[in-house]
Chains A and B, each alone.
Chain A
Amino acid sequence: MAMLESAGQQPPRTAFYNDPVVRGIMYQVVVGVLLVTFVTWIVHNTSINLAAQGKTTGFDFLGKTAGFPIGFSLFEFTRESTYWQAFLVGITNTLLVAVIAIFFSTIIGFTLGIARLSSNFLISRLATIYVETIRNIPLLLQLFFWYFAVLKAMPAVKDSFALPLDMFINQRGLFVPRPQPDAQFSWIYVAILLGLVGAFLIQRWAKRRLEATGKRFPVFLSSAALMLVLVLVVWFASGAAVTFDPPVLNRFNFKGGLELPPEFVALAWGLSIYTASFIAETVRAGILAVNHGQTEAAQSLGLKDSDRLRLVVIPQAMRVIIPPLTSQYLNLTKNSSLGAAIGYSEVVNVFAGTALGQSGRAIEVIAMTMAFYLTISLLTSAIMNWYNARVALVER
């Protein structure tokens, strides 16, 4: 062995196939060839099968008339609309239910996550029971339960349940008052925008002053006051008003108001309830992940309680909470595809279901549906990577 180390000696001769680099290349060539063969085989089979069925391929069908109605859409969709418009309706419906369910599941989830850590035995136990029950039952089953067993068992339109705030619930869904801002109301939006800009400027100025002089400034209170004053001044100056058009029971159905179909209500409700149980666990883990030493260190620095939470505990907890929270939001968006099982017109139901059946373009339709989810997922992970890089702990 010592001989090898002396100068001028050749390295030991090994067979070329034992060289790790050559081996690596060989393995990859084999895998690559197998994959290409497999894909070619599938493409070959598919083209034969499509030819046998007399079907054509291509995305030209998107411009053609779809010829089917869609039960629920945010914008006009008729039988004369195109497949592309059907795709758009599906996408917007998916995003609509996802956004609404994300809003409610975040509120419920954070409340439950904090409740689980409560020192109050009863409250923490109730939250635990909720989380352990809900997250161990399949979402599809919960959706069936809410849709078929609860909403379909609601009274008929004539005997609707009256809820507070002029809302009604019955077999045909949830009826809520429709807000009708008048023409002057857009000035209020301008005021809110101005207020936000002002709050941002105040915050920057206060931070700079704090760093320069050490003097504090009540940023939150002053921003809130600025916002309130701006909105109130504009409100009275412009005479803007918002009226609510409540649903009124006619002989057969409700007139006016905003009608949310039972599929939408069941899906948004089920998704919120289900995802909240996962968010609660995320929040709990995040809060528990902040070392108790951090709290003690903050106290020994003399920070008051609100500053301790705001500057020490919450930022560190959020660093742990936000990545899994985002993946829960992503899961929720993907899970909204289960709305297809209860007939909500989201993208899988409208496009991969009805449009596929009507057009017969299976490959294109499935590819577009998958591409939609892929885009959302890639966008989210791009944002997440950026965020993680920003908040990552910089260690020695």
Chain B
Amino acid sequence: MTDISFVRSEMTGASPAPNPTSGPIVWVRKNLFATPSDTLLTLLGLAFLAWIVPPLYGFLIGRAVPPGGTVEQCRVENVGACWAYIASELDFFVYGFYPAVEYWRVNIVFAMLALLIIPLAMPKAPYKRLNAILFIIVFPIASVILLSGGIFGLRYVPTEQWGGLMVTLIISVVGICLSLPLGIILALGRQSSMPIIKSICVAFIELIRAVPLITILFMASIMLPLFMPAGVTVDKFLRALVGVTLFSSAYMAEVVRGGMQAIGRGQYEAAAALGLSYWKRMGFIILPQALKHVIPGIVNSFIALFKDTSLVYIVGMKDLLEAVKTKNDAIEWASPTQAITGYIFAAAVFWMFCFSMSRYSQFMERRLNTGHKR
């Protein structure tokens, strides 16, 4: 027996390391330079960035006049954004012509708003029902009383003096609080089996959705005085509020209707089989599910409403945009970049609110996407 076996007498050389599958270089190769066309796109993108970022930086920060600067600094050639202008007119942008000694009232309203909205938005915060009632019913009334005054020893401040961010926020928040219940009622009416009520709701929703907000505000400012009995005048602020709310409620109704249609027939039938009355069926069974489904859609309507408040200048209210536009013509701060700085500031404020709302709606969408995904 020859015992043949082969045993290697020396170690084999180490095989080359496998290609890395993670790490920054791999990431760059995979996400930026995967194919020739990808590489070309990346280079184009980089060129675009190189073209846009330095001038933008120079305008917004590098050559800009910081808050506290003087108007002379803003008047030099090739100056960047004039932030000193924004800083010096900030009070007007936030409060409009509201008397300076009464600013605390506006600040209390802002604080109430924050205190009510933050727990309402947090899914884990307790007392949701109480919170919602406070926000939807108590807050609008309290804020209007506090802001306009005239009772409880508060000085009366006519709405002509309201302005700036305050008007934008109040109109949008009150508009949101009013348009949601109104939209739910319209959606219920549209789904109703009673022909007259259904046709009224359909006609209202479709008419409002067909025309631009600007024509509704025109109507509020020109036609409303004609519709009222002689001698009755409707406050400008109220006109803006009514116009915006009616407009938004039609869109809200369609969102809610979408949620109601997404609920299986079985839910309606089961609720009816339990012998619940119409309002109990809707209030306890259908709407809680429907509204939960469409929270992202509702928040999107809120974003639209918030942006639409910039149109209230039609009825003569000075919202944030209109306040900025007015001050952009002010001689004291006349400088080459005055207007552009003002608009950038207003855009940043609007963007901040809308972007946080849209992020919130995406967060809720992910959160609600649990039980219903098949």
Contacts and interface: CB of A to CB of B under 8 A. Distances in A.
A81 interface: no
A133 B328 CA distance: 23
A373 B214 CA distance: 12
Given A31-B197, A52-B230, A122-B45, A141 B321 contact: yes
Contacts of B209: 377
B56 interface: no
Contacts of B42: 120, 122-123
A238 interface: no
Nearest to A373: B211
A335 interface: yes
A150 B200 CA distance: 46
Contacts of A341: 313
Given A120-B38, A362-B222, A374 B211 contact: yes
A287 interface: no
B354 interface: yes
Given A138-B350, A366-B215, A369-B215, A35 B200 contact: yes
B200 A334 contact: no
Contact of B223 (A139, A142, A337, A363): A363
Contact of A126 (B48, B211, B321): B48
Nearest to B37: A120
Contacts, number: 149
Q: Which of A122, A340, A366, A374 has the most CB of B within 10 A?
A: A122
A31 B38 contact: no
Contacts of B313: 341
Label chain A's interface by main secondary structure. helix
A338 interface: yes
Contact of A123 (B45, B214, B226, B347): B45
A119 B215 CA distance: 44
8 contacts: A45-B226, A49-B230, A120-B45, A145-B340, A369-B215, A373-B212, A376-B210, A377-B211
Interface of A: 24, 27-28, 31-32, 35, 42, 45-46, 48-50, 52, 118-123, 126, 132-133, 135-142, 144-145, 148-150, 152-153, 334-335, 337-338, 340-341, 348, 352, 356, 362-363, 366, 369-370, 373-374, 376-378
Interface of B: 31-32, 34, 38, 41-42, 45-46, 48-49, 193-197, 200, 206-207, 209-212, 214-215, 218-219, 222-223, 225-230, 303, 307-308, 310-311, 313, 321, 325, 328, 336, 339-340, 343, 346-347, 350-351, 354-355, 358
Given A149-B339, A338-B212, A363-B226, 19 more contacts: A31-B200, A119-B38, A121-B31, A126-B48, A132-B358, A133-B351, A135-B354, A136-B307, A136-B354, A138-B321, A139-B307, A148-B343, A352-B215, A356-B222, A362-B222, A362-B226, A370-B207, A373-B215, A374-B207
